[in-house]
Structure 1
Amino acid sequence: MPVSVTMPRLGESVTEGTVTRWLKQEGDTVEVDEPLLEVSTDKVDTEIPSPAAGVLSRIVVGEDETAEVGSELAVIAGEGESTGGGEGAPQEQQEAPAEAVEPATEPTAAAEGTADQVAQDEAPAPAAAPSGEGTAVKMPALGESVTEGTVTRWLKQVGDTVEVDEPLLEVSTDKVDTEIPSPVAGTVLEIKVAEDETADVGAELAVIGAAGGAPAQAEPESKPEPKAEAKPTPKAEPKPEPKVDEPTPGTSYNEPAAETESSAQPAKTEQAAQPSAPTSAPQRPAQGDGEEVAGYVTPLVRKLASEHGVDLSSLSGTGVGGRIRKQDVLDAAEKAKAAPAAAQPAAASSAAPAKPAAKPQPSGKRGTTEKLPRIRKAIATRLHESLHEMAQLTTVVEVDVTRVAKLRAQAKDSFQQRHGVKLSFLPFFALAAIEALQTYPIVNARMDLEGGTITYPEAEHLGIAVDTERGLLTPVIHNAGDLNLGGIAKRVADLAERTRTNKISPDEIAGATFTLTNTGSRGALFDTPIVPSPQSAMLGTGAVVKRPVVVNDPDLGEVIAVRSMVYLAMSYDHRLIDGADAARFLTAVKERLEAGNFESELGLA
């Protein structure tokens, strides 16, 4: 029985998604849960698995097309089955264009054998439109609220030959970085939007013509007559080099062509203009390109490999069908870092006496100007609006966490064995803050000044600020009040890891009612956090440091002792939360931490 593949719900506020790439084509066999297609929203890029095993009989929504949540994307039939719009319907649709073309192009009509090819070439190109000189490549829709994108890098240059679905350029928005594939095979005739320039959705980015520079049409390979129409741009005498289509080891189609490739471009276009040549279409290498080595590689994996200098061709994928996953790239990068580190002690033992550490080298960005990343622009806009929307005030208290430090040192080994994560100070701060929120719900509330209301959430949804390469992101521990110390520690570690590796879902970075930021992780004593709207308060935890303080000993009275101390700074909306309310909340957190009654949570009681 045919099974319909529908657009899943990819977030609380997400109503539609854009199909960025089909990993399977019509007629391909798929297994249950095997990746079927990639979908992008303004929050996340993800793969949609196949809900059933069978044959992909029909694709309803093409690449770069947008579909609403719940709408049909494709149909999967069992072996030997067919659907009303399955394999039978496409065949009729493929034959019809061939009959319609014959009267309009009498001397140069395509042969019957190429009719199917014509339909296949035209079908997967929803983001491209024919122009006077070729096929236009347009900026696709990259999310519900995304209206424009910035071209960060062209992977092909004018005159380069491209294949269908071969990565053509990289585009960045404030939500996602992705690659735009070529909708047709041919030659890049014109680039209309340069690198670092921004274009609206639907704007024309480039023009792709046939291999010799003519419009991208399906020519019969057996006819030599069209040779005159496929003239390359007049250049110097071409130099036929047998290796122009094979990049040197270590290069890939994800990077701009090398100097030798651009110099041999006339030879490539001349070869493409001769239909009699058996290798008129360039063959992509099996070495140096991770996509050929282990099937399709997602744009995120390619970008991650480029950032870490990992050669995809050297990896063995652990995903379905041997596909290379993000974790494979990260593991390879860690091994590459570990190798020099292991060799360093041996070299140091045979070297001369250690010299003073070298002076840090200045950053290569000194004296330069770069374009503002879209994610940084979005963060700046939100924080600026937050400061102007509310009257923010910060209150700071000093907390003695010596008892917590002793418990942590005593239980950290057994805690890691039992829960699989390291025990830091952050879970203690989080648990104390959650308990204080339950006692003083005004800190967890939000105010609607125009509506004249105060809303008290029914649960504590704790946001955890995470430092990533893209900027500061805040995943959320929903219903944090239901978790104990171990549960909070595991959730913090899990969310932080998946946020840094871009595996977080849209719902997991939305809905916080109170946020905790660990500014002390980089040694800061305290700062004044900016409360993210519509929340009303945010707590910052400083570095835990040992210093001499005055303590009251039952036997000796007031004495000076070395204690583990930390500053807690809470910023809040003073329109809703009075200073006394903030002080009561912070005092409750302080007393909970200084009492140090966490033995039962750590299994020490």
Structure 2
Amino acid sequence: LGESVTEGTVTRWLKAVGDTVEVDEPLLEVSTDKVDTEIPSPVAGTIEKILVEEDDDAEVGADLVVIGDGSGASGADAGSDDAGAAADEPAADASEGEDLASDETAAPSTEQETPAGEAEKPADSSGGAASGEEVTMPALGESVTEGTVTRWLKAVGDTVEVDEPLLEVSTDKVDTEIPSPVAGTVLEIRVSEDDDAEVGSVLAIVGSGAAASAPAEQPAAPAPAAQEAPAAQEAPAGESAPEPAEQAPAAAEQAPAPKAADSVSGAESSGYVTPLVRKLANEAGIDLASVQGTGLGGRIRKQDVQQAIEAQKSAAPAASAPAASAAPSAPAVQVSSLRGTEEKMPRIRKVIGQRMMESLQGMAQLTTAVEVDLTRIAKLRARAKDDFAAREGAKLTFLPFLMMAAVEGLKTYPQLNSTIDGDKVIYHGSENIGMAADTERGLVVPVIKNAGDLNLAGLARQIGDLGGRAKGNKLVPDDLAGATFTITNTGSGGALWDTPIVPAPQVGILGTGTITKRPVVVQNAEGDDTIAIRSMMYLFLSYDHRMVDGGDAARFLTFMKKRLEEGAFEGELGL
């Protein structure tokens, strides 16, 4: 489960002794210090013996479970690392069972092993190796050295076009699809799902398809069984019959064995469904066939099921609305489906939590705030936003004004745009602004590179583009790298102010509160104090006191306050 991982902890068994399991069906969940993942079964059969209990540790290569025909006489030992992780294991011990540590890309296995891994065997019946173009792990950002294969969108024997998505890869920063660099047939899959791969390592072989035709024709008998069992398990009642019919056109051109394995791995258009999602849907009485998956490749995620649950709950009050209209009452409380439940912490939450703790423990952080009158900015924006959108193709929100003032402040006070490197201080020569974005997956921070070189329109376009791609999960790793200073718009959620945590190795993060209209004491042209209704906002700056003093922070915020309250942006807006 990664180069430096030597053991894992069995966190949950998804099958018990006596249960049947299909090829590639999730068998157990394993946790390491890097990732939580499901381990699929390499064979179909009956669970005869569980060798490692929940919460116990197991070394890489250790046997986890025995799978056989149910008689208890013999079975296959499933090792704790995923298929293909140990290339030096022999592949001919079929009489003693199949170990997950055996290498799927080794010499052709015996006939007994073929049904378990037939979709990923690259060699033909004569033992010839597949030939074609290598698909390698691309560079996924400056600091990213490896990624985890989360899902194959194509199986051995499937055809793929140039730039067509081939697999999904997850890193600490982003989940993304890897397109195929060539057109052809998938001849070999080198890295299994949930396995790590270094940048530059070979993921798959795509070629003419000659090498894939031989193994596809061998397992004529096992293929129907492998296809029918998962179909009955994955598809809701009443929908198992149409699924083979929809696959028939593709099966006519391709050999049946790879398609059967595709069904087993859950890579059909309906999307692979994790046990957690399936359990959540079953408990709420949600038909998964009616749920539209929003994950990559149409995968049904937990959030999709939760939305279906909320929609189901809201339908009942809507039906009784006419009767209730006569007697107004308090709105019904929308109870979250998470109430009273448990779930594993998502990977992105673990990464965020770890980095925030490291930042707090490694810095002397504190926060300074000022209050800013944005009335002039609000009036400018109201006058210009329609023409601006038509001319620039971007929405004119308050954030471009705030970001421009912040960038000008960073140029004037470079202490806030610096990095501590041992006993040195590096003052950055450009202002790369991280823009914290709240998404369904969690917090992500895309970066506007060289923001100091952009005018108001350029900032607005970058904010709109990166924000839209963040919401749609379309960011690439390079979009998230290289920030020298960060802005978080806490006010978008209605908060007045906050104490954000500085993301290392930066030394400052600016927060913007919500804009509220309220009475404020102002001076008129004669210098007399009057009370007026103004659009007010808090700006708050968290900073690393090792580099930035309170006076530095106050001067930076006061610079921004003066720039924004003067509102001299007419030239930028063409007014």
Please report the TM-score for the alignment, with normalisation by the length of structure 1: 0.57
For 1:474, give the aligned amino acid: V
Give, in angstroms, the shift of residue 501 of structure 1.
3.9
What is the aligned counterpart of 1:398 among 333, 351, 371?
371
1:51 aligned to 2:25? no
1:13 aligned to 2:143? yes
1:477 aligned to 2:448? yes
State how 1:481-560 maps to structure 2 within 5 Å: 481-555=452-526, 557-560=528-531
1:429 aligned to 2:559? no
Give, in angstroms, the shift of residue 291 of structure 1.
6.6
1:468 aligned to 2:467? no
SS at match of 1:594: helix
Residue deviations 1:225-271 (CA, integer Å, cap 9, x gap): xxxxxxxxxxxxxxxxxx9997425899xxxxxxxxxxxxxxxxxxx
Residue deviations 1:57-84 (CA, integer Å, cap 9, x gap): 44444555543322333343358xx6xx
Aligned-partner Cα distance in 1 for 2:344–2:141: 30
Aligned-partner Cα distance in 2 for 1:467–1:415: 26
State how 1:196-235 maps to structure 2 within 5 Å: none
State how 1:66-465 maps to structure 2 within 5 Å: 66-78=196-208, 86=211, 247-249=236-238, 295=269, 297=271, 313=289, 324=298, 352-353=325-326, 355-358=328-331, 360=333, 375-448=348-421, 451-465=422-436
For 2:168, give the aligned amino acid: E
Residue deviations 1:78-112 (CA, integer Å, cap 9, x gap): 58xx6xxx45xx95xx69xxxxxxxxxxxxxxxxx
Contact 1:475 1:499 (C-alpha < 8 Å) held by counterparts = yes
1:581 aligned to 2:555? no
For 2:137, give the aligned amino acid: M
Cα pair distance change 1:539/1:41, threshold 3 Å: closer
SS at match of 1:530: coil
Cα pair distance change 1:524/1:68, threshold 3 Å: closer
For 2:573, give the aligned amino acid: L
Residue deviations 1:129-182 (CA, integer Å, cap 9, x gap): xxxxxxxxxxxxxxxxxxxxxxxxxxxxxxxx9769969xxxxxxxxxxxxxxx
SS at match of 2:542: strand
Aligned-partner Cα distance in 2 for 1:560–1:550: 5
Contact 1:23 1:296 (C-alpha < 8 Å) held by counterparts = no
Cα pair distance change 1:501/1:66, threshold 3 Å: same
Cα pair distance change 1:315/1:50, threshold 3 Å: farther
Cα pair distance change 1:250/1:351, threshold 3 Å: farther
Structure 2 equivalent of residue 144 of structure 1 = none
Contact 2:173 2:480 (C-alpha < 8 Å) held by counterparts = no
Cα pair distance change 1:309/1:400, threshold 3 Å: farther
Contact 2:294 2:300 (C-alpha < 8 Å) held by counterparts = no
Residue deviations 1:398-427 (CA, integer Å, cap 9, x gap): 111110011112222333344454432222
Aligned-partner Cα distance in 2 for 1:443–1:579: 12
Aligned-partner Cα distance in 2 for 1:39–1:421: 31
For 1:582, give the aligned amino acid: A
Give, in angstroms, the shift of residue 460 of structure 1.
1.1
Structure 2 equivalent of residue 572 of structure 1 = 543
Cα pair distance change 1:432/1:326, threshold 3 Å: farther
Aligned-partner Cα distance in 2 for 1:361–1:326: 22
For 2:428, give the aligned amino acid: P
Aligned-partner Cα distance in 2 for 1:559–1:597: 23
SS at match of 1:582: helix
Give, in angstroms, the shift of residue 586 of structure 1.
1.0
SS at match of 2:384: helix
Aligned-partner Cα distance in 2 for 1:19–1:516: 32
For 1:502, give the aligned amino acid: N
Name which of structure 1's ranges 309-318 and 52-61 shifts more when overlaid on structure 2: 309-318
Contact 2:417 2:428 (C-alpha < 8 Å) held by counterparts = yes
Residue deviations 1:26-48 (CA, integer Å, cap 9, x gap): 44332222222333334333322
Give, in angstroms, the shift of residue 350 of structure 1.
8.6
Give, in angstroms, the shift of residue 436 of structure 1.
0.9
Aligned-partner Cα distance in 2 for 1:247–1:529: 46
How large is the Cα RMSD of the aligned pairs? 4.9
Residue deviations 1:466-497 (CA, integer Å, cap 9, x gap): 22344433222222223222332333333334
Aligned-partner Cα distance in 2 for 1:575–1:403: 36
Cα pair distance change 1:591/1:250, threshold 3 Å: farther
Identical pairs, percent: 53
Residue deviations 1:271-320 (CA, integer Å, cap 9, x gap): xxxxxxxxxxxx99x9xx9979x7373669x969x899997756999999
Cα pair distance change 1:166/1:116, threshold 3 Å: closer
Structure 2 unaligned blocks of 5 or more: 1-130, 242-259
Aligned-partner Cα distance in 1 for 2:524–2:240: 69
Aligned-partner Cα distance in 2 for 1:403–1:245: 59
Aligned-partner Cα distance in 2 for 1:385–1:498: 28
Cα pair distance change 1:246/1:599, threshold 3 Å: closer
Aligned-partner Cα distance in 2 for 1:57–1:378: 35
Structure 2 equivalent of residue 126 of structure 1 = none
Give, in angstroms, the shift of residue 537 of structure 1.
0.8
For 2:563, give the aligned amino acid: R
Aligned-partner Cα distance in 1 for 2:404–2:172: 32
Cα pair distance change 1:310/1:455, threshold 3 Å: farther
Please report the TM-score for the alignment, with normalisation by the length of structure 2: 0.60
Give, in angstroms, the shift of residue 444 of structure 1.
0.6
Contact 2:236 2:288 (C-alpha < 8 Å) held by counterparts = no
Give, in angstroms, the shift of residue 507 of structure 1.
2.6
Residue deviations 1:382-401 (CA, integer Å, cap 9, x gap): 32332232222222111111
For 1:416, give the aligned amino acid: A
Cα pair distance change 1:417/1:319, threshold 3 Å: farther
